[in-house]
Amino acid sequence: MKPTLQAVAEAVGVSRSTVSNAYGRPDQLSAELRQRILDTARQMGYPGPNPTARSLRRGFVGAIGVLFTSRLSYAFTDAFAVRFLTGVAEAAERHDSSLLLVPLPVGLAGARKAVENAAVDGFCVYCAGDEGGIIDTIRGRGLPFVTTSARPQPGDRWVGIDERSAARSAAEHLTALGHRRVALLAHDVLPDAGTGRLRVANVTDVPHPTTRDRLAGVADAFAAAGVAWSDLTVLSAADNDRAAGAAAVRALDAGPEPCTAVLACSDVLALGALDALRAGGEEGRRVSVTGFDDIPEAAPAGLTTVRQPGEEKGRTAAALLFDPPADASAGQIQLPTTLVVRTSSGPVPRS
């Protein structure tokens, strides 16, 4: 039978609260009594009070939760996610706090359960498909939160970028180079979309807010250049990784008028597109490619991309949780982005 705090108290001849103080409030006991309690507990095989239960009773856990819609390994393998989490961790270290990574399963019911069960003092919502439903669950728990996308309510705290404007800058770069027949490459375009060409009636049909805003920015630029949304090719990648990006571009049939450029919603997808196109020979190398994020692998590959400050984004988001400003408007921060032009983009090739 597993020993309990009560059993230790009876063995030593003290109250339950005295045993609890030996672990959580040692200054309340003499050094001799505390040592006697700890020795007895060790001999009985009692590991001490449950740290989560103890922290919840005192209203402080000492950890913040980072929410993202993906498998857990994404946090360690996606280059931009790693940069963001590095920034969050730096801020957490300064406040003697820990991080709890909370991958959200597909479906609102499962995601809400994950949020409800997380023992944390607050949440950083890094990437969530149904962000509104997740935020409602966090509000129900009465915990503070910060998101990485703009929130409509004035009192909400967020740190992000203008996703739509940033994506439009990359698309305007290509329209200025003469590109009109282009493919938009993204993950999370539509639920269970698979790999390859995808028919999306309207950009507003895309459920994931970040993907939707980036595709909308591209649509804005091409609409200004006289190209309707319906004339843009949408490519779906099965995952947000390099191999999935390559697979999606390989599924793009040439047709009588092949695309002259691929605009990817992330650098890892863009790098995959470059892999597939360069494997296709000279014609593939003449197709322009742009990405988004400016991860470390982008520069060596010559990838034209939108640079956003990953570590700063993480540090700022965590700082808003640990040290919320008194002025609500000061808790809403838009970070700058920069279009970085490299060799992966160029004028439309002559026939």
Run means of pLDDT, 10 residues per run, the chain, 351 residues: 85 90 81 90 79 50 87 88 95 91 84 88 85 85 89 87 97 98 93 85 91 96 97 94 95 78 97 93 82 97 97 95 84 96 94 66
Q: Is 140 exposed, middle or buried (0-12, 13-18, 19+ CB in 10 A)?
A: exposed
Of 302, 305, 294, 347, nearest to 174 by C-alpha is 347
Looking at residue 347, its pLDDT comes to 96
State how far the Cα of 25 lies from the Cα of 306, in Å rounded to an integer.
Answer: 51
Tell me the sheet residues that pair with 147. 125, 158
- Name the pairing type of β-strands 182-186 and 332-334: unpaired
Ordered DSSP codes for 293-314: E--TTTTTTT-EEEE--HHHHH
Q: Using an 8 Å Cβ cutoff, are 49 and 71 in contact?
A: no
The token pair that represents 223 in the structure block = 């609409």
Q: pTM for this structure?
A: 0.80
Domains of the chain: 63-161+311-334 (3.40.50.2300), 163-307 (3.40.50.2300)
d(CA 142, CA 66): 17
Quick one: which of 169, 64, 168 has its CA closest to 126? 64
Check residue 60 and give its pLDDT: 66
Q: What is the pLDDT of residues 21-56, one digit of tens each?
A: 887 777 788 989 988 998 998 898 887 765 545 444
CA geometry: angle 154, 101, 264, nearest 5 deg: 75
